[in-house]
Amino acid sequence: MKLNRYAVTAAFEDYVSGYNAADPKIRLKIDHTTRVAGLCDRIAEATGAADVDLAWLCGMLHDIGRFEQVRRYGTFVDAVSVDHAALGADLLFKEGLLNRFAPDDLTPSDRALLEAAIRNHSRYRIDAGLSESEMACCHILRDADKIDIFRVNCDTPLEDIYNVTTEALRVSPVSEAVKDCFRNRTAVLRSLKQYPADYVVAHLCLVFELVYPVSRTIAREQGYVERMLGFQSDNEATKAWFSHMRERIWEQ
């Protein structure tokens, strides 16, 4: 496809100007969006799994629902508000918001790929029954999103991300069920997380869900995973667990 990225970027800036960029929650999502778009471009280019412009557009629009979510509910927690991926996809594909970003650049098949990727980007598991090209767009976007989550975990105080006190973080144990996910090299279901440090381990377990080798390479070279593994704890068992993870996380 031939996409006018300049026009998409201008439309995105215009869209988000309707929200309060002084609100750190909004700022976070604006920065996240542009970084994820860049990562999608890089993964698509390296793998050849999808059109690079379309992959970049998936990144630019994947979290568009976040802005309405925080305006309507004041939170990014889907469980207590709305599924932000579904909200974004509904706004784009049912209510015509997509036309504001890429009016002339998209074929019906591009639109289908974009919608599949956006609807599935935050699910625990991707919908069954997608086509190979839909799967590729989903995988690229999900990998890019996960890679940037590592950065957000380092650039934003953990107290703010997880809504807990410093004290609670420092004394936190790690649940056995969450440790088992790490041992089994799998993502952590939301319902398994009990303690503040469980959330950090769960985010680290996203490494195991990266689909493309280049995504692992990028995640590793960015260094945020290592920084997350330097989690400061006063709990001896948690300290030992983090040093165990440091040794094992990149094993194949």
Site for Fe ion, rule CB under 5 A: 63, 122
Q: Which is nearer to Fe ion, 62 or 216 (CB)?
A: 62
Residue 61 CB neighbour total at 10 angstroms: 28
Q: Which is nearer to Fe ion, 87 or 249 (CB)?
A: 87
What residue type is assigned to position 131 of the chain?
S
230's tokens:
């330097």
H or E segment to which residue 144 belongs: helix 132-155
Q: Which is nearer to Fe ion, 122 or 172 (CB)?
A: 122
Q: Are 205 and 187 in contact (CB under 8 A)?
A: yes
85's tokens:
């991926």
| Shortest reach from residue 103's CB to Fe ion, in Å | 24
| Shortest reach from residue 35's CB to Fe ion, in Å | 13
Q: Which is nearer to Fe ion, 79 or 230 (CB)?
A: 79
| Shortest reach from residue 247's CB to Fe ion, in Å | 31
Q: How many CA atoms lie within 13 A of 172 on its CB side?
A: 25
| Shortest reach from residue 251's CB to Fe ion, in Å | 28
- 68/139 Cα distance (integer angstroms): 25
Burial group, residue 136, by CB count within 10 angstroms (0-12, 13-18, 19+): buried
| Shortest reach from residue 163's CB to Fe ion, in Å | 18
Q: Are 215 and 143 in contact (CB under 8 A)?
A: yes
| Shortest reach from residue 104's CB to Fe ion, in Å | 26
Q: Are 241 and 179 in contact (CB under 8 A)?
A: yes
3-state secondary structure of 127: coil
Q: Which is nearer to Fe ion, 122 or 233 (CB)?
A: 122
Q: Which is nearer to Fe ion, 169 or 206 (CB)?
A: 206
Sequence-separated (6 or more) residues with CB below 8 Å from residue 182: 201, 204, 205, 245, 248
Q: Which is nearer to Fe ion, 54 or 174 (CB)?
A: 54
Which of 197, 219, 193 has its CA nearest to residue 208?
219
The alpha carbon dihedral of 55, 58, 60, 62 has a sign of negative
| Shortest reach from residue 183's CB to Fe ion, in Å | 27
